[in-house]
Amino acid sequence: MTREHALLESAPDTAAGNTVSRRAFLAASAAAGGGLMLHLTVPGTAFAVPSKSGPGAELNAYIRIAPDGIVTIAAKNPEMGQGTKTTLPMLIAEELDVDWKNVRVEMAPVDMQKYGPQFAGGSFSTPMNWDPLRRAGAAGRQMLVTAAAQTWGVSPSECETSAGVVRHKPTGRTLKYGELAARAAKLPVPDLRTVSLKDPKDFRIIGKFTGGVDSPAIVQGKPMFGIDVTVPGMRYAVFQKCPVFGGKVVSANLDEIQSLPGVRKAFIVRANDAAAHGITNVDRLQEGVAIVADSWWAANKALQKLKVKWDEGEAVNQSTAAFEKRAAELFREAPQKTVHKEGDVDAALASAAKVLEATYSYPFIAHAPMEPQNCTAQVRDGKVEIWAPTQFPANGRTLVAKTLGVDESDVTVHMVRCGGGFGRRLSNDYMVEAAWIAREAGEPVKLIWTRQQDIQHGFFRPGGFHHFKAGLDANGKLVGFRDHFVSFSGADGDFANSANITATEQPARLIPNVEFVASLMPLNLPTGPLRAPASNALAFAFQSFFDELAHAAGRDPLEFLLELAGEPRVIPPPEGANRFMPVPGFDTGRMRGVLELVAEKSDWANRKSLPKGTGKGIAFYYSHLGYFAEVVQATVNPKTGFVKVDKVWVAGDVGSHIINPAGGINQVQGAALDGISEALGQAITIERGRVVQSNFHDFPLLRMNQAPPVEVHFRITPNPPTGLGEPALPPAVPALCNAIFAATGKRVRKLPIDPAELRSA
């Protein structure tokens, strides 16, 4: 029933500078009742997806055009608020040339063989899909035009489309897509490389403020999140792990727990030796006690009565205080490794007119998505069925299969809307727990973590320590830079997950003499990506120190950053940068562009006229292919040291289009405020191997009365569009700290910001 296929290899985008190459596969078939189905696979370059893209691939009904003209588009990636469930279908609908109001979006099943990579992370959805999804839409449009031309016996070139209708220009005859779908389904699929794409000036959907496809259901409180899932005969579960990571259960008062009202079963879950299967520390099933009850409240009440004797293991000796002490010692010792080296830093520092040194540090942070971790699982006749809010469903499927010892084909994972992700749901620890508990219970269960468990049993944004030494020449120009980074090591002895630094960190490759050296402390605590991983921490340290350098040189920080950028040029990506998709080089012209734009919009030049106690700070950061410069204005109360953030200005360059300004601006505002939220109060501290914080009273999130207005400006440049989920976050943190310096003369070198350090009265 498949008519033909088209392979797209290395399709260069018409926009300048796109080196992104992809292989997309499109096929067509007839839908029951006379519709057209288009089947599309967009493989990722480095995904080990056992995908059979190309002829013979399994069909996935990515786009369906029904006889009534309704277009149904599959959303293949998880939705956690980043908006891809709306944005990606917009790309198809634009080139298919249909009315957005006739588009329905359906969550796709999890099957990477059919759909290609299915995940939400790294702000990859936009750059990976911008080109192939538009081409798929355009191919569909071309088939519908051909079907109309054949019906009329005219040339396709005499036909045009608009809002789901093909029109024969000379005669004015029209046919609706729905009427053409059956005929189009019999046509060969055009070559994706040669389909013609719209002139962007004709876009009617891309660039238009488009509300989220789930928004109407959200405002009515319709059940749609993981935590809302109900399956027949379902019980409720809680699961308590050792407060010290990796601890084991010696004994527990299971009999007492099982006698409590509503409790059906309480049992010990033994740690699974999943390391043997190549499963990481984060995902591995940890030891603990499960309580299954008739209601979640009954399970949670029983949890309060649970008494477990733990074998706490090695990790009990860890503490934040010990890490800080050890970091200070390591700074005095020779670094353990060199990460990046260019030029001769020693010589540059020796001949510098001025040398500055400073130590910066930042804490561990939890993700705390608003929806606590949860998962509903059912194990029946050897088949496992899972409903989970997850950013990486296929990974969860593999994990569940390996841990339960079943075949992957016997595990079905349903993607459910995530109440926030921020990277936390890239690991599926809660999924494997739910599957295990459901099997042991012999009944379907919904596992819900308490907020305390969420904060204490996450994987964390790793803390870190930097000792910087940099030299300025007589003109105040940065000539040499060294970072001794004290970070953490993971199980393999190398940098722990997301605790690393790479050769793209500025000022590397912008000035001649740069050295990043590192010393690692062993860590027995899971770490991993938090929104804008590594960048969210490094931006604070580096961009704050740049501000210090600018002030030390008696220069305007903006001018200092522009000098760092230097002449507009493209610096090629370092080796190994093309992990998920080919990435373009770093364009210093785009860096300059956003810095100049944010300076203009924030009236940077007049910042000195602000009242005493109020200041503006600026910072730039490049991450996830997005260029962001931000200015924060903050006022510090001299008596209390409390920081009030007055306003944030953001200038971003993510290429030629803001596909959906509704979601796009929202992401930017949210990311900037997320950074401010982290800086103002968030820290996970460890004592006796335990996480101290437990809920929003001691792990505070920004609140309405603290949230400043965030003014967002985009610089439109002729580059393929890239994602907005992350890159606006990192510069917000140093821009705030630099504003505090401008307001008070006090430099924030340790996060979170401590008001006690900022008092001046």
Partner 1 sequence: MAYTINVNGTSRTVDVEADTPLLWVLRDTLDLKGAKYGCGMGLCGACTVHINGTPTRSCITPISMVGDAQITTIEAIGETEVGRRVQQAWLELDVMQCGYCQAGQIMAATALLASNPKPTDQDIDDAMSGNLCRCATYTRIRAAIKHAAGIAHSEPTET
Residues that bind ligand FES (CB under 6 A): 81, 370, 420
The CA distance from 232 to 711, in Å, is 48
For 151, the enclosing helix (H) or strand (E) is helix 125-152
178 touches which of partner 1, ligand FES, none (CB within 5 to 8 A by kind)? none
The CA distance from 160 to 165, in Å, is 8
**Of 247 and 670, which CB lies nearer to partner 1 in the complex structure?**
670
- DSSP-derived secondary structure letter, 496: P
We find the least distance from the C-beta atom of residue 703 to ligand FES, in angstroms, to be 12
Size of the site for partner 1 (CB under 8 A): 67
We find the least distance from the C-beta atom of residue 698 to ligand FES, in angstroms, to be 15
Q: Give the C-alpha distances (Å, rounded to integers) separating 513 from 71, 309, 466, 533.
A: 56, 55, 18, 26
Q: Closest by alpha carbon to 657, among 203, 210, 212, 213?
A: 203
Q: Give the C-alpha distances (Å, rounded to integers) separating 464 from 177, 601, 751.
A: 57, 33, 10
Q: Closest by alpha carbon to 187, among 147, 219, 145?
A: 147
Contact 556/523 with Cβ under 8 angstroms?
no
Asked if 126 interacts with partner 1 (CB under 8 A), we say: no
The CA distance from 157 to 149, in Å, is 9
**Of 149 and 416, which CB lies nearer to partner 1 in the complex structure?**
416
80 touches which of partner 1, ligand FES, none (CB within 5 to 8 A by kind)? partner 1
125-152 and 84-96 helices cross at what angle (nearest 10)? 30
Among 34, 67, 109, 420, binds partner 1 (CB under 8 A): 420
What are the φ/ψ torsions at residue 323 (nearest 5 degrees)? -65, -40
348 touches which of ligand FES, partner 1, none (CB within 5 to 8 A by kind)? none
β 586-587/103-107 pair status: unpaired
Among 56, 153, 201, 220, binds partner 1 (CB under 8 A): 220
We find the least distance from the C-beta atom of residue 623 to partner 1, in angstroms, to be 18
Instruction: Show the 3-state SS of 71-136.
Output: EEEEECCCCCCCCHHHHHHHHHHHHHCCCHHHEEEEECCCCHHHHCCCCCCCCCHHHHHHHHHHHH
Asked if 702 interacts with partner 1 (CB under 8 A), we say: yes
The interface region with partner 1, picked from 160-168, 184-192, 220-228, 326-334 by CB under 8 A, is 220-228
The CA distance from 740 to 748, in Å, is 8
Among 326, 439, 451, 601, binds partner 1 (CB under 8 A): 451
Instruction: Show the 3-state SS of 540-600.
Output: HHHHHHHHHHHHHCCCCHHHHHHHHHCCCCEECCCCCCCCCCCCCCEEHHHHHHHHHHHHH
Q: In what order do the strands lie in the sheet with 374-380?
A: 263-269, 288-293, 235-241, 445-448, 374-380, 383-388, 411-415
Q: Give the C-alpha distances (Å, rounded to integers) separating 94 from 29, 71, 163, 215, 699.
A: 21, 12, 9, 21, 43
**Of 414 and 759, which CB lies nearer to partner 1 in the complex structure?**
414
We find the least distance from the C-beta atom of residue 259 to partner 1, in angstroms, to be 15
Asked if 257 interacts with partner 1 (CB under 8 A), we say: no
Site track 359-398 with partner 1 (rule: CB under 8 A), x = hit: ---------xxxxx--------------------------
Asked if 233 interacts with partner 1 (CB under 8 A), we say: no
**Site residues for partner 1, window 706-735 (CB under 8 A)?**
707, 709-710
**Of 320 and 666, which CB lies nearer to ligand FES in the complex structure?**
666
We find the least distance from the C-beta atom of residue 716 to partner 1, in angstroms, to be 16
**Of 321 and 370, which CB lies nearer to ligand FES in the complex structure?**
370
The CA distance from 40 to 53, in Å, is 9
336 touches which of partner 1, ligand FES, none (CB within 5 to 8 A by kind)? none
70 touches which of partner 1, ligand FES, none (CB within 5 to 8 A by kind)? none
**Site residues for partner 1, window 177-216 (CB under 8 A)?**
209-212, 214-216
We find the least distance from the C-beta atom of residue 696 to ligand FES, in angstroms, to be 8
Asked if 459 interacts with partner 1 (CB under 8 A), we say: no
Q: Which residue is nearest to ligand FES (CB)?
A: 370
**Of 420 and 752, which CB lies nearer to ligand FES in the complex structure?**
420
Residues that bind partner 1 (CB under 8 A): 80-83, 209-212, 214-216, 218-225, 227-228, 230, 236, 261-262, 295-298, 300-301, 368-372, 417-422, 448, 450-451, 661-663, 665-667, 669-670, 673-674, 677, 695-697, 701-705, 707, 709-710
